[in-house]
């Protein structure tokens, strides 16, 4: 039998998951921004040091010089998007749990009042 305490515990667990997802998302946003800044700075420095004889060669030198920073930024950006998806899922699960809890409370109230047959 489902009790009000069981419903409350289930909602508490979902709220904790939502909080953890929010914290993880915020960390990922910060890490992605920092990775982008690191890449952009490395790109600017590499552009100033590029010695290619034409624009295409200088651009290639910059790409080679900043490949690690670019990869780190893209990975951090992907993690940010992934954590955003996890956050959205946690919110949806909490909302669904609240809706279900409300329905169950109503059913329990009707059952104990004798109005439900």
Domain ranges of the chain: 4-106
Give the chain's mean pLDDT: 92
- pLDDT, one tens digit per residue, over 17-43 is 999 999 999 999 999 999 999 999 999
C-alpha 86/C-alpha 92 separation (Å) is 10
- pLDDT, one tens digit per residue, over 70-94 is 999 999 999 999 999 999 999 999 9
> How many Cβ atoms are within 10 Å of 25's Cβ, its own excluded?
21
φ, ψ of residue 114 in degrees (nearest 5): 85, 5
C-alpha 97/C-alpha 7 separation (Å) is 9
Answer for the pair 46, 61: CB distance below 8 angstroms, yes or no: yes
């Amino acid at each position: 039998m489902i009790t009000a305490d069981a419903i409350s515990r289930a909602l508490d667990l979902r709220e904790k998951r939502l909080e953890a997802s929010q914290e993880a998302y915020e960390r990922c946003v910060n890490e992605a921004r920092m990775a982008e800044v690191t890449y952009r700075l490395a790109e600017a420095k590499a552009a100033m040091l590029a010695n290619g004889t034409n624009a295409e060669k200088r651009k290639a030198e910059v790409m080679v010089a900043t490949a690690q920073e670019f990869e780190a930024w893209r990975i951090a950006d992907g993690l940010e998007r992934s954590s955003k998806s996890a956050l959205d899922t946690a919110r949806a699960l909490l909302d669904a749990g609240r809706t279900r809890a409300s329905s169950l409370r109503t059913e329990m109230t009707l059952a104990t009042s004798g109005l439900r047959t």
